[in-house]
Chain A
Amino acid sequence: MKSVALFFALLVVSMALSVCLGARNFSPAEVFDVLLGRSDLPAPHQTILMEIRLPRTLLAVMAGGALAVAGVVMQGLFRNPLAEPAIVGVSAGGAFGAVLALAMGWATTLLTLPLAAMAGSVLCTLMAFAVSVRGGRASIVALLLGGMAVNSLAGAATSMVMMSSSHFLLRDMLGWLMGTLDARTWAHVKVSAPFILGGFAGALLLARRLDLLAQGEEVAASLGVDLGRLRVWAIAVACALAGSAVAVCGIIGFVGLVVPHILRGIVGPSHGRLAAASFAGGALLLLLADLGTRVLPVASNLRLGILTAFLGVPFFLYLLRRSAGKENYA
């Protein structure tokens, strides 16, 4: 429990840093004065704090936390440490929805882009899930294979739309596909918050059943876990969490894979504690990555998804290497 509290304490410190640092640095006293409405800073500077940095910081926390908790749920469901939300098509579907909205010119209002991405995520997850159901029960192997097929399909459709788009739109599309928290508003926070908080609550409520599933399907079933219902709820929770994060931030890889892994070694395998710690850990990772995109000297073209991939890929390869020593992947 102490380690979970430590992660939340680190998260609070990082949130303070994220609000204070940027193109112009603000002191904590200046931030408090603005928050309390008694600041004499110029109005544009107050706007930067209240309308740009605060929503951006909150979105980084929510999206990072959501992706990590979705990873906990997927790894628990598949009983595989290499599982993450993207394997059932959440990210590829979100990418297709967003790219299509940009290509068709629908993304002229604040919410059409996130809503299109969300719709793509949900649609692809439903497709992957639908092909996995046999006789009223979802097969894990079929879900995995269905997810791979849907990922390929959505990837091909995204490429097709991009190939048919002018170079003006391509820059927008690529920016979104690399993940970003630039120009995010309170509206993005408001739209994603219900899904993320609801998904987090769902993950916590599923935790005990995922703990039992970790003992094996037969054991879990003999202890009263309805495996079919658990799979449906777990997929729904992971889709709400990861889909809403993808909808407001674009594609951000490896948070859902890396964070639960690191934290499992620290807080243990209990899914309740792991979900809570992963929320803080994922939020911390994304917050620091976003801060990096804003304050690093080379950051003008460094996007969020690129930074998290730089952090995540070496760890993923390390995991593969370590697993290869214990299991036969041939």
Chain B
Amino acid sequence: VRLVAALALAAACLLTWEALQVGPLPDFEPTRLSSAAPPARRVASLAAEADEMVLELAGPGRMVCATYMSSIHDASNVVELAKLVGVKISNIAQVEPIVLLEPDLVVVNDFNRPEALFLMEQAGLRVHRLRYPRSIEDVRSNLIHLGRALGEEGAAARWVSEIDGVSHECRARTRGRPRIRTLVLSGSLWAEGEGTLVDDLIRTAGGENVMAEGSRVVSPEEIIFMNPEAVVLTESGLNLFQGDPALASLPARKFVVPWRDSQPPTQYVIRAIRSWAVRLHPEAFAGWK
């Protein structure tokens, strides 16, 4: 027993030196991979927003896998297209199945674990990371970079132009009108605050976010105290509102949207801007759907 203990202790001391040599991971910048590389033909999508963007930019024929989220109607705008992609990944941290699909581009986002990205790069895969968008400008940037990586700059540019056009028109039509005090609840009572894509969407659509601070779960009391004029909420949020007499009596206009439209970090942001603007200022957008 003492001999085994001594050997284990000696090995521990030797390995301590090895442990001290472990350094940080390299950062994965979108621009690092996309400029000089040829357009990707076998794309693996490991993020829900990547499913939407890649499927509509490059088409299902160029995808080797999508995430399981692309099969859920409430979560994805591309369920029908995604049916044409044979492989759906549910555990995005398992690197082996992804490597074996032999993709020439793997599209991930900020929520994919860095160690999985590290292993993919070690296996020689090109990894393109989408930044989690905190503004409409971030969505534009993601579309431009991804379009370049896929060799679909033209299609990406058209979407960007459409985003700019809709945003510009919304701002122009709501200029001088009172800002509608708006609360957006994604999920149940999770309120999106300052510095988020939702905050930017509200302002572009002619509203003012009543959740002035960061995003967090809010209580019914807080919602009543905030006294919003409009509440954008999902199906589960509506159930909570209807089940709570105090919230049900709130005079605010309530707009129910599918979860996929409560904060769309993709080209579907165009639809969100339009529909939110129409709902917040129906008189300014007569003729818009």
Residue positions of A touching B, CB distance < 8 A: 22-24, 43-45, 47-48, 51-53, 107-111, 163-164, 166-169, 171-172, 175, 180, 182-185, 187-188, 190-191, 193-198, 200-202, 204-205, 207-208, 272, 276, 294, 300-301
B-side contacts of A43, CB under 8 Å: 123-124
Which residue of the partner chain A has the closest CB to B1?
A: A272
Query: Quick check: A109 and B9 within 8 Å, CB to CB?
Result: no
Does B122 make an interface contact (CB < 8 A)? Answer: yes
The stretch from B19-27, B166-174, B241-249 touching chain A is B19-27
Query: Quick check: B100 and A201 within 8 Å, CB to CB?
Result: no
Min C-beta distance of A173 to chain B, whole Å: 11
B-side contacts of A195, CB under 8 Å: 12
A-side contacts of B18, CB under 8 Å: 190, 193
Min C-beta distance of B221 to chain A, whole Å: 16
What are 25 of the A-B contact pairs (CB < 8 Å)? A22-B96, A23-B96, A43-B124, A44-B102, A44-B123, A51-B123, A52-B95, A52-B99, A108-B114, A109-B24, A110-B22, A110-B25, A164-B216, A164-B217, A167-B190, A168-B111, A169-B111, A183-B95, A190-B15, A190-B18, A191-B22, A194-B19, A205-B5, A276-B4, A294-B94
Does B275 make an interface contact (CB < 8 A)? Answer: no
- B interface residues, tally (CB under 8 Å): 47
Does B90 make an interface contact (CB < 8 A)? Answer: yes
Query: Quick check: B100 and A23 within 8 Å, CB to CB?
Result: yes
Which residue of the partner chain B has the closest CB to A192?
A: B19
Min C-beta distance of B11 to chain A, whole Å: 5
A-side contacts of B124, CB under 8 Å: 43-44, 47
Known A-B contacts: A44-B100, A108-B25, A182-B94. Give 14 more (CB < 8 A): A22-B96, A44-B99, A48-B96, A52-B95, A52-B99, A168-B111, A182-B95, A194-B15, A197-B8, A202-B5, A204-B8, A207-B1, A272-B1, A276-B4
Does B115 make an interface contact (CB < 8 A)? Answer: yes
Of the candidates A47, A107, A164, A183, the one having the most CB atoms from chain B within 10 angstroms of its own CB is A183
Query: Quick check: A204 and B24 within 8 Å, CB to CB?
Result: no
Please pick, from B15, B97, B187, the residue contacting A193 in the complex, using a CB distance under 8 A. B15
Query: Quick check: B187 and A183 within 8 Å, CB to CB?
Result: no
Please provide the chain B residues from 1 to 51 with a CB less than 8 Å away from any CB of chain A in the complex. Answer: 1-2, 4-6, 8-9, 11-13, 15-16, 18-19, 21-22, 24-25, 27
Which residue of the partner chain A has the closest CB to B123?
A: A47
